[in-house]
Chains A and B, each alone.
Chain A
Amino acid sequence: MLDDFFTRALIAGIGVALTAGPLGCFVVWRRMAYFGDTMAHSALLGVALSLFFQINLLIAVFGVAVVVSLLLLALQRRQSLSADALLGILSHSALAIGLVLVAFMTWVRIDLIAFLFGDILAVTRTDIALIWGGGVLVIAALVRLWRPLIASTVSEDVAEAEGMKPAQTKLLFMLLMALVIAIAMKIVGIMLITALLIIPAATARRFSASPELMAVLASLIGALAVIGGLFGSLSYDTPSGPSIVVAALLLFILSLLPAAGKNTAVRAGNQGVR
């Protein structure tokens, strides 16, 4: 069964989506979309370094994502620039440096488009093992971290005051995010990883009465988007990443239709601020 490239892509993609769902919810709740983007863009730098030093791609991408996120935390603490501007600088610099480095290495020929937008043809058995292995690791860690993560998302001060360690929780969360970016890169591509994190979570919001339900629904909706996107990619010969994101977007739009949700449009519009 795994001999068929499409089946492999499907299994890998579903694995990525199931992992990305709960993590994506936190990205949405914590307003870290741009942060996720920055980590994802830095993945290309990881790709370049992996080619240059001949090290494992996954490890290089994970390493660079971790370094970039730690750098970001350190810079934010100095408060010389707004977090927004810092993210903008790091995000695009990492992407640009990655592109420049790849261009320098004239002796390697890589399919840049495949890295930027995903490539279903490239999925190997090893990739599947890494995706599902990493996915199980991420989900297990999230389950263990669940209460402190939710608590510190609502209020870091309350979590800290009531005996939790929000700083440590945040660090672990960023490691998980780096791991997901590393394993998701091949399926959706560097430019679109954040979309796979955010769009299913946003779609799940309307149907969820609790954070736990939203996390599970985000996984399922993501898996649905992967299936739809990959079939679309196959029949229209489009790159896998963008096709999956388009499928996710279609599901999101469907979820906005008034009849789709339990909540009425009025209630949804009454979101206010709190």
Chain B
Amino acid sequence: MLMSNRARRPKAENQLVSLANAGIRRDGRWLVRGVDFSIRRGEVVTLIGPNGAGKSTTAKLAIGVLRPDEGSVARLAGLRVGYVPQKLAIDWTMPLSVRRLMRLTGPLADADLLAALESTGIPHLIDAEVRHLSGGEFQRALLARAIARKPDLMVLDEPVQGVDFAGESALYDLIRSIRKTTGCGILMISHDLHMVMAGTDTVICLNGHVCCRGTPEVVSQSADYLKLFGNSRSLAVYNHHHDHTHLPDGRVMHGDGSVTDHCHPDDGHHDHDVHDHAHDHDHPHHHHHGDHAEAKGEGRA
């Protein structure tokens, strides 16, 4: 817990965030370590890597949701962040309209609110209840919320999950145009390599540490990248074989939905059975992964 890290200013003037040899450890295990990168105004940095590589953890380090156990993270004083998390579980008992969601962390003028919703293609859903939105509509609402904040830095953790194919490329176009018009920095996490590569300045390939980095052209040719992904087509296959996820709090979420403190191959949670993987993918990311009790009952049945 190096609180002082929050106060350290980035060296270069135009750096919004910089991570220097940052690492985070949970239960004696490093989730990520030795992460080194910075984001400047107007720059798009994309994190890629297999599940459990520490992409979301790294993003959370960058914006201060998690604090580094090693190294340091520096943010521009008063940095305004717009964050689209990978998972967001809103209890359905909270009556929350899209309009209200847009004003979640700060006031917002009606015109800005509507403009942001129009840019992500859902102005008609302004008064819809959030719980009635589809997965893709919900992602669009979250993206609109982040945009409407007019942030210095947008952090987008798989922002187009659940969005249909045509919508996907439209949203990536939108993200690119926002960078151009507002000059904000963008930290993005994505699996859609083809889509992302086109609009990215720097790609950082993570697997617990930085494997390789550079422009999309350089990274896609590098040996480390090819070793991790082969080609982008096999990326999806790789995901299916990964049977556990390291949660940011250090626990491990297994393929059967249960959560344990450590990651042991013999604890009965690591199920390589194909059937189990199919089950996993019946649940899109934005649904209730936080509801451990329910998932546990299902997985052990």
A residues near B (Cβ < 8 Å) are: 28-31, 79, 84, 147, 150-151, 153-155, 157-164, 201-202, 205, 208-211, 213-214, 267, 270-274
Contact = CB atoms under 8 A, between A and B. Distances in A.
B121 interface: no
Given A28-B93, A162-B81, A210 B60 contact: no
A154 B64 contact: no
Interface of B, secondary structure class, is loop
A267 B60 CA distance: 36
Interface string B285-298: 01110010100000
Contacts of A30: 91
A226 B177 CA distance: 56
Given A210-B100, A271-B131, A274-B130, A160 B95 contact: no
Contacts of A154: 88, 90, 94, 96, 101, 104
Contacts of A213: 95
Contacts of A272: 92, 131
16 contacts: A84-B293, A155-B88, A157-B60, A157-B65, A161-B155, A162-B81, A162-B105, A163-B105, A205-B95, A209-B95, A214-B94, A267-B132, A271-B92, A274-B90, A274-B286, A274-B288
B85 A274 contact: no
A203 to B, nearest CB: 12
Contacts of B63: 160-161
Interface string B70-102: 000000000011110100111111111100110
Interface residues of B, number: 40
A161 B83 contact: yes
A26 to B, nearest CB: 9
Interface of B: 60, 63-65, 80-83, 85, 88-97, 100-101, 104-106, 129-133, 138, 149, 155, 249, 251, 261, 286-288, 291, 293
Nearest to A162: B105
Residue with the highest number of chain A CB atoms closer than 10 Å, among B88, B91, B133: B91
B149 A162 contact: yes
A214 B91 CA distance: 14
Contacts of A214: 94-95
Contacts of B89: 273-274
B131 A158 contact: no
Given A162-B81, A209-B97, A79 B251 contact: yes
Interface of A, secondary structure class, is helix
Residue with the highest number of chain B CB atoms closer than 10 Å, among A29, A202, A214: A29
Contacts of B291: 273
Contacts of A161: 60, 63-65, 81, 83, 155
Residue with the highest number of chain B CB atoms closer than 10 Å, among A79, A164, A274: A274
A31 to B, nearest CB: 6
A136 B157 CA distance: 41
A211 B95 contact: yes
Residue with the highest number of chain B CB atoms closer than 10 Å, among A157, A267, A271: A157
A49 B105 CA distance: 42
Residue with the highest number of chain B CB atoms closer than 10 Å, among A209, A270, A273: A273
A147 B93 contact: no
A210 B97 contact: yes
Contacts of A163: 80-81, 105
A36 B63 CA distance: 32
Residue with the highest number of chain A CB atoms closer than 10 Å, among B64, B104, B133: B104
A79 B261 CA distance: 8
Contacts of B105: 147, 151, 158-159, 162-164
Given A154-B90, A209-B97, A273 B104 contact: no
Pick the 4 closest A-B CB pairs, nearest first: A161-B83, A162-B105, A273-B288, A161-B63
Given A84-B293, A153-B94, A155-B88, A211 B65 contact: no
Contact of B93 (A150, A162, A202): A202
Given A29-B94, A208-B95, A274-B92, A158 B130 contact: no
